[in-house]
Chain A
Amino acid sequence: MIKYLKTDDSKCVGCMTCASVCSRLYFKQDNPARSAIQVLDRGNNEFHLIACDQECRKCVAECPVQAIRVTAAGVVMIDKKLCVGCLACVAVCPIGAMRYYPGDSTTFKCVACGACAKECPKQALEIVKKEEGAAS
């Protein structure tokens, strides 16, 4: 099984609560550039949410030091002690869900912790499980 953060763009109102929760939790600062969940403003009150689907695993295959692994829960995680910060994973990510903050030594991504989903006022986010290989 794969645990992942399911996003629903149609419910998102762009309040940025999720980005705030995520960056405060992992970086101790309120900064959307340091949030693993991204909210893209498409205009006309339309928003697009980006977070790792935990499924394509291109980053896992690309990492030269095997710092990116899949946990037993089916979540793609970065071992920061092994990461050499090359950003190859950022380049291969097809949806831009692998992130880095300029000057930081390692990359970061959504690990399906669910903190943002709990706080989302519009229920645009939820943690769900899917079968390996099933379409997300």
Chain B
Amino acid sequence: MSVKKEDFKLLSETRFAPKAIERGYAMRTMHVDVGTAKATEKPVSEDMKKRFTGGKGFGLKLLWDAVKPTTKWNDPENEIVIGMGPICGNTNYPGSGKSLVVSISPLTGIPIDSNVGGYFGPYFKFGGWDALELQGKAAKDVVLFFDSNEGTVQIFEAPAGLGVDTHVLAEELTVAFAANEAERQNVSVVSAGSAAEHSFIGLLNFSLWDKRRGGVRVKQAGRGGIGTVLRDKRIKALVVRYKGVVQDSNKAADPALVQRTGLKLHREIIKNDDKQCKMRRQGTAHLMEVMNDYDLLPTNNHKYGRHEKGNELASWVWEKYFTQGLPDGCWFGCTMACAHAVDGFELKTGPYKGHKVCVDGPEYETAAGCGSNLGVFDPEGVLEINFYCDTYGVDTISFGTITSFLMECQELGVLNRERTDGIDLSWGNWKGACEVLHSMSRGERFGSLAGKGVKFLSEYFAKEYGADPALMKDIALHGKGLEQSEYISKESLAQQGGYYMTNKGPQHDEAWLIFMDMVNNRIPTFENKAEALHYFPMFRTWFGLQGLCKLPWNDVEPADNAKHPEPNKVPEHVQNYCDMYTAITGEKLDPPGLIRQSERVYNFQRAFNVRMGKGRREDDWPPYRAMGPVLEDEYLAREERYDKQMKEKIGVDPAGKSVAERMRITREYRTKQYESLLDAVFRRRGWTMDGCPRPEHLKDIGMDLPEVLEVVNARIAGRA
């Protein structure tokens, strides 16, 4: 249906005094209670800026203040906080349009953070805000409209008949709230979808109006179920309007340095990308064949790392599907432009069957998680799953890892048609995967069950269907309740740490060390690995404090990068980031200072986990599928590697030993290795051996806030 702004019943309107951004900050945040339909502003103190920097730092600080240790994801006091960061919204440095969203996750019960593109964050920021808090629960579905030019916030009751699924809803709202057709690019929508309402894996779609395509595109804050929280609050969508983005919307201290630094990277991308990662043509999907070649492509629930049909999902296949020749940035000025799309894709299943749609992606995680990991090698099957995940508002990573778990459970005889409500979950059956999605969208039994995540399912199948609890635990790929993203970690100890010694759960955005560790053997000792598991998570946390994307850091490199002693850090780009921070905020920053900014927020987040009753050593433990071979055929698929390792590293001769015996020896060894790594990493991070930040470390890094010290002291004293 076509809706007009007049169709929306106004519940409340708040007008704020205008406030210009100065040197990247507005020095205030907005709080909206959707339960009472009230919007208020909170000042940002110099102390808050110094300790939390911005973006995710501000988000976590506001979330901490909003919740109690007992708060559950669906309690009204839980919040969704969208933080932007001082560098967010500049148009010169590629990858500067990100927002960081935090909330207490329905999957993990601890803070989740998710990094997302699209225009919402910058447009909201330029209304004079550093972050947006959404709290409370509305009685009926509401739409929040932020007019960043007028300084108003309007809360509307959603009119009957307004779309639910994002590809319908975001377009309807963009059209309704844009001043006119020519100004649709000035509107951005945040929405979820029908499956977000019936699962714990709901996501937020952040839209951008693609002028050339004449339609809405979406980027996802995918991880951890924030879309589920949005719908639980009965927020149908957030809409922002802002006209007037210019080169210096951040009122930088040194706009010319912003330009110079940005232009340097633009030129590097234009020159090198075709020879390096081909992000401009293929996006992250360029990784598919690389992962398959290195035995790292998740296949059949991460059982294997390679498939003979792997190349049927290779980058060159996707390149043919992607509509080429369009600048596919998710924010203005991103010449990396990796947000590719498939236009005119005709759907073959579900309520939109026969419709020709624009599919955003697939990106690598989706192609791997909803492709090879499900044994699906039909690109059109992957596109169908990708589209429905997006429009129904669920995370393709969690959905992929859940569905691969379900398929393996069918293979193992734990599931049958009766238990799946008739859905065939054989490997490779992408239509079965879509049926799970449609069932989730309709709120039916099996889809809703699947949507609770693999942690829940593994326990449920053991309890209800008599499955072996130990096996269920081994093959349910999650950490802290969050599904693992799509790289095979079992042959890289450092990557096991990179995934499972994370604050929010196993997502690759903290550390991706597989090549450094497994392929190039640059970090052989526990201390080397621990150093990497300190440096990279801290470094990468920084993107989220600033409103930046990680990809332009190392998905393009200066031509001479390899000559540096630490090429994995991409030192020239690290300096670019320091320069950008200084250019915008006017404050000096060097690489150690950058790490220190992150350490404060990283340790605060860990302490937040502790406060919520988690953040223990046991919470950083992976399922065994992420560490080694669970099943005999899995061992046999890499028998040569495992036997060699047994002989050379464990010092045991595998000759004459049964597969079961060799698996036991391997498992024992790998388990001990992981224990040793935990010790080394906790030591390096300044934590106790139970994974709690030490008070003296918090003091060293400037995060010894009384409320944080109270939490860690209680844990260390055994009181919490």
Contact partner of B263 among A62, A90, A104, A105, CB < 8 A? A90
**Is A65 touching B262 in the complex (CB atoms < 8 A)?**
no
Contact mask B74-111 → A, CB, 8 Å, 1/0? 00000000000000000110000000000000000000
User: Interface majority SS on A: helix, strand, loop or mixed?
Assistant: loop
B262, chain A: closest CB distance, angstroms:
6
Cα of A87 to Cα of B245 in the assembled complex, Å: 14
Interface size class of B (residues with CB under 8 A): 20 to 34
Question: Does B641 reach chain A (CB closer than 8 Å)?
Answer: no
Within 8 A of B (CB), among A99-113: 100, 102-106
**Is A86 touching B212 in the complex (CB atoms < 8 A)?**
no
B329 cross-chain contacts in A, Cβ below 8 A:
64
Question: Does B429 reach chain A (CB closer than 8 Å)?
Answer: no
**Is A84 touching B335 in the complex (CB atoms < 8 A)?**
no
Contact mask B309-351 → A, CB, 8 Å, 1/0? 0000000000000000101010011110000000000000000
A66 cross-chain contacts in B, Cβ below 8 A:
211-212
A62, chain B: closest CB distance, angstroms:
5
B246 cross-chain contacts in A, Cβ below 8 A:
84-85, 105
Cα of A85 to Cα of B91 in the assembled complex, Å: 7
Interface-facing stretch out of B265-273, B507-515, B573-581, B657-665: B265-273
**Is B212 touching A62 in the complex (CB atoms < 8 A)?**
no
Contact mask A76-90 → B, CB, 8 Å, 1/0? 000000001111101
Residue of B nearest to A94 (CB): B270
Cα of A88 to Cα of B269 in the assembled complex, Å: 10
B247 cross-chain contacts in A, Cβ below 8 A:
84-86, 104-106
B341, chain A: closest CB distance, angstroms:
15
Within 8 A of B (CB), among A46-103: 61-66, 84-88, 90-92, 100, 102-103
**Is A91 touching B327 in the complex (CB atoms < 8 A)?**
no
**Is B211 touching A91 in the complex (CB atoms < 8 A)?**
no
A86 cross-chain contacts in B, Cβ below 8 A:
91-92, 247, 262, 332-333
- With A64-B329, A65-B185, A65-B332 known as contacts, the answer to whether A87 contacts B266 (CB < 8 A) is yes
Cα of A86 to Cα of B334 in the assembled complex, Å: 8
A102 cross-chain contacts in B, Cβ below 8 A:
256, 259-260
Contact partner of B266 among A61, A90, A105, A106, CB < 8 A? A90
Question: Does B384 reach chain A (CB closer than 8 Å)?
Answer: no
Residue of A nearest to B90 (CB): A86
Residue of B nearest to A86 (CB): B333
Cα of A92 to Cα of B269 in the assembled complex, Å: 10
A33, chain B: closest CB distance, angstroms:
12
User: Interface majority SS on B: helix, strand, loop or mixed?
Assistant: loop
B179, chain A: closest CB distance, angstroms:
15
Residue of A nearest to B93 (CB): A86
**Is A103 touching B335 in the complex (CB atoms < 8 A)?**
no
Contact partner of B270 among A61, A84, A91, A100, CB < 8 A? A91
Cα of A88 to Cα of B246 in the assembled complex, Å: 14
B121, chain A: closest CB distance, angstroms:
15
**Is B333 touching A88 in the complex (CB atoms < 8 A)?**
yes
A100 cross-chain contacts in B, Cβ below 8 A:
259, 263
Cα of A62 to Cα of B329 in the assembled complex, Å: 10
B266, chain A: closest CB distance, angstroms:
3
Cα of A61 to Cα of B337 in the assembled complex, Å: 12
**Is B211 touching A65 in the complex (CB atoms < 8 A)?**
yes
**Is B333 touching A103 in the complex (CB atoms < 8 A)?**
no
Interface centre among B211, B212, B259 (most CB of A within 10 A): B259
Cα of A81 to Cα of B398 in the assembled complex, Å: 43
B263 cross-chain contacts in A, Cβ below 8 A:
87, 90-91, 100
- With A88-B327, A91-B269, A91-B270 known as contacts, the answer to whether A64 contacts B332 (CB < 8 A) is yes
B269 cross-chain contacts in A, Cβ below 8 A:
91
A63 cross-chain contacts in B, Cβ below 8 A:
327
Residue of B nearest to A93 (CB): B270
Contact mask B240-254 → A, CB, 8 Å, 1/0? 000001111000000
Question: Does B255 reach chain A (CB closer than 8 Å)?
Answer: yes
Cα of A106 to Cα of B246 in the assembled complex, Å: 8
A92 cross-chain contacts in B, Cβ below 8 A:
266, 270, 335
**Is B332 touching A62 in the complex (CB atoms < 8 A)?**
no
B185 cross-chain contacts in A, Cβ below 8 A:
65
Cα of A103 to Cα of B333 in the assembled complex, Å: 16
A88 cross-chain contacts in B, Cβ below 8 A:
266, 327, 333, 335
B523, chain A: closest CB distance, angstroms:
35
Contact mask B192-222 → A, CB, 8 Å, 1/0? 0000000000000000000110000000000
**Is B259 touching A64 in the complex (CB atoms < 8 A)?**
no
Cα of A104 to Cα of B270 in the assembled complex, Å: 23
- With A61-B325, A64-B332 known as contacts, the answer to whether A84 contacts B259 (CB < 8 A) is no
B255 cross-chain contacts in A, Cβ below 8 A:
103
Cα of A69 to Cα of B333 in the assembled complex, Å: 17
12 A–B contacts from the bound complex (CB under 8 Å): A61-B327, A66-B211, A66-B212, A84-B91, A84-B245, A84-B247, A85-B92, A85-B246, A85-B247, A88-B335, A91-B269, A106-B247
Known: A65-B332, A85-B247, A88-B335. 8 other contacts (CB 8 A): A62-B335, A64-B329, A65-B211, A85-B91, A92-B335, A100-B263, A103-B255, A106-B247
For the complex of A and B, list the 5 residue pairs with the smallest distance between their C-beta atoms, beginning with the closest.
A85-B247, A86-B333, A91-B266, A102-B256, A86-B91
